[in-house]
Amino acid sequence: MTSRETTKFCLLLFFSISFGALYGQGGSNTAAYGGIQATPKFAWEVGLHGGHMFSSGDIAFRPSYGGGFHVRRALDYVFSVRLDGMYGIAKGDSQSSGHQIEDDLTGQKDFFIHNTTYASFTVQGVMVLNNLRWDKPRRRMNIYVFGGAGPTYLQTSIESKTPGLFAYDDIIDVPNGPLSGRQTSQLVTGLEAGAGVAIRIASGFNIALEHKGATVFGKRTDMLDGVEVKFRDILNYTALRFNFNLRAGGKLAEPLYWVNPLDVVLNDISELKARPVLDLTDSDSDGVIDIIDQDKSSPPGAPVDTRGVPMDSDEDGIADYLDREPYSPPGTSVDGEGVSQNPQYQNADYISRDEVEQLIEEALAGGGGSGNAVVEWFLPMVHFNIDSYKVRDADYGNLSSIANVLKSNPKIKIVVQGFTDKTASDDYNSVLSYNRALASIDHLVNLHGIDRSRLILQYGGEDNTLVPASGSSLMNRRVEFRVAGPKDAEMPQPQGGGAAPKVEGSRQGY
């Protein structure tokens, strides 16, 4: 095979594997799963390797060494592609096998030592044999096999054991040798195959022990050791590999061949199972359901706060429903009925409960609904799929409830604030949280007829997570709603907002 043919073959192999990698990454159909993409955004692997190499052929080998580097990318949970570069020198001594070379000038024969320089750049397909077990989130060990091909540089130098008798830089220079007068290039096509075991040390680092055999095509097939005996020589390489995962500071998952294929799905299922069962029981009929009620035995008719605890407006230790003076001045001593015992306040002209309620109603009517009692209302939140700002069907009911609150209280405004989990970059997550808040607002405006001016858009990116997780989390992918205060204002669209992520998950951010 000529050097031109070798180059064509390697380019064809490289583009074939690259196309397969792109197809494996982007060709999956997520429509059947409602846009949910269960494959996390994962890291590349780079590594260094070194070890013992020798030529298995017609003469005895001497201990020799080689080393190199690689870049690896997963195609799925089993298959990956690896670009591997290697350099080494294999040595051998012909004396034990009896092979000799005749010196062209003296006619004297002598045993020889060969030094075969081997440098290769191969494209390898790697198959993990044990990653389709789903009992653990991560594999502790990977067992794999691989094979590949690529351009290989070969040079086999020959030197007599008798000092100064003969020495040749390459086997083609040996007079009357097997390759004498034959046209052959030092750049040939190499073929490699092997197997290995990798041990996971940490999420970003693993160590592998690997062995491979390599051969070449062309006239040098049986000349790696300088002797031609009608059977191809095999170059062997046993190496220790140190592999590093480029996880971008923990934002990317480990390469897929270390990950349980159901990891993301099982995490979301675990979060759903951990949620409390929605029970709307309100034992004391105070308007706060038992699941969040901190006092489930409030007396009938007693005013309570959002926690279900009877209110104590003047904080004198006596609940308003028992307090004869529920709005005593701060710090005033009171008796058992809440009546002030300080003489300077006993005959004061206090404001009545009815007057207080009237003032609150007037403030709400004229101030856009910024009273504290309204701000503390409990409003539901909505959640989003990975890397998506499409409102899920499951959250239509929550948005309908929020719309009913707005329609029942025409003077209030609502802050709509979007958030993400901590899987992508800060800038990307700012845009995604903005888009989630905007999608919720559009839903309320278009489906429920809410005036856009009553909805204040804000976003927080990956800040203020509900679940302290660095990766994917359904609870953190959310939009929250609260009654607006007088200082709440709409936030401007973030930088890059025009380059919004896709509505359905493409795994570019979360």
Read off the pLDDT of each residue in 389-412 and give the average, rounded to a whole number.
Answer: 91
Q: In the structure encoding, which two tokens stand for residue 82, read together?
A: 């690896």
Q: What range does the domain containing 402 cover?
A: 363-483
In what helix (H) or strand (E) does residue 150 lie, and over which residues does it extend? strand 141-160
Read off the pLDDT of each residue in 418-433 and give the average, rounded to a whole number.
Answer: 88
- We report the CATH number of the domain holding residue 68 as 2.40.160.20
- Domain presence at residue 273: no
> Which has the minimum average pLDDT: 143-152, 190-199, 354-363?
354-363
Q: Are 92 and 61 in contact (CB under 8 A)?
A: yes
- Domain presence at residue 328: no
- Other CB atoms within 10 A of residue 137 CB: 12
Q: Which letter does DSSP use for residue 310 in this model?
A: B
Read off the pLDDT of each residue in 409-415 and give the average, rounded to a whole number.
Answer: 91
Statement to judge: residues 154 and 11 lie in one domain: yes
Buried residues in 215-241 as b, exposed as e (16+ CB within 10 A): bbbbbbebbbbbbbeeeebebbbebeb
In what helix (H) or strand (E) does residue 351 lie, and over which residues does it extend? none
CA–CA dist 378, 402 (Å, integer)? 10
- Domain presence at residue 97: yes
End residue of a domain, out of 220, 245, 261: 261
Q: Are 206 and 158 in contact (CB under 8 A)?
A: no
Q: In the structure encoding, which two tokens stand for residue 431, read together?
A: 């845009």
In what helix (H) or strand (E) does residue 91 lie, and over which residues does it extend? strand 79-93
The residue to which tokens 């309100």 are assigned: 282
Statement to judge: residues 225 and 368 lie in one domain: no
Q: Which residues pair with 255 in a beta bridge?
A: none
Over residues 133-162, the pLDDT tens digits come to: 776 767 789 999 999 999 999 888 878 777
Tell me which residue of 395, 397, 381 sits closest to 464, measured CA to CA: 381
pLDDT at residue 398 is higher than 50: yes
- Domain presence at residue 68: yes
CA 18, distance to chain mean position in Å, is 21
C-alpha torsion 439→440→446→447, nearest 10? 130
pLDDT at residue 371 is higher than 50: no
CA–CA dist 450, 440 (Å, integer)? 12
- Domain presence at residue 158: yes
Statement to judge: residues 99 and 222 lie in one domain: yes
Q: Which residue has the higher pLDDT, 5 or 435?
A: 435
Q: In the structure encoding, which two tokens stand for residue 268, read together?
A: 């979301």
Read off the pLDDT of each residue in 303-317 and give the average, rounded to a whole number.
Answer: 80
The residue to which tokens 């993301």 are assigned: 264
Which residues have CB under 8 Å from 201's CB, separation 6+? Answer: 207
- Domain presence at residue 40: no
Statement to judge: residues 251 and 377 lie in one domain: no
The secondary structure of 232-274 as a DSSP string is: --EEEEEEEEEEEEE-TTTTSBPPGGGB-TTHHHHHHHHHHHH
Highest mean pLDDT among 111-120, 130-139, 140-149, 163-172: 140-149
End residue of a domain, out of 226, 261, 296: 261
Statement to judge: residues 257 and 400 lie in one domain: no
Statement to judge: residues 391 and 250 lie in one domain: no
User: How many structural domains are present in the chain?
Assistant: 2
User: What predicted TM-score, i.e. pTM, was given to this entire model?
Assistant: 0.49
**pLDDT band for position 81 (cuts 50, 70, 90):** very high
- Domain presence at residue 107: yes
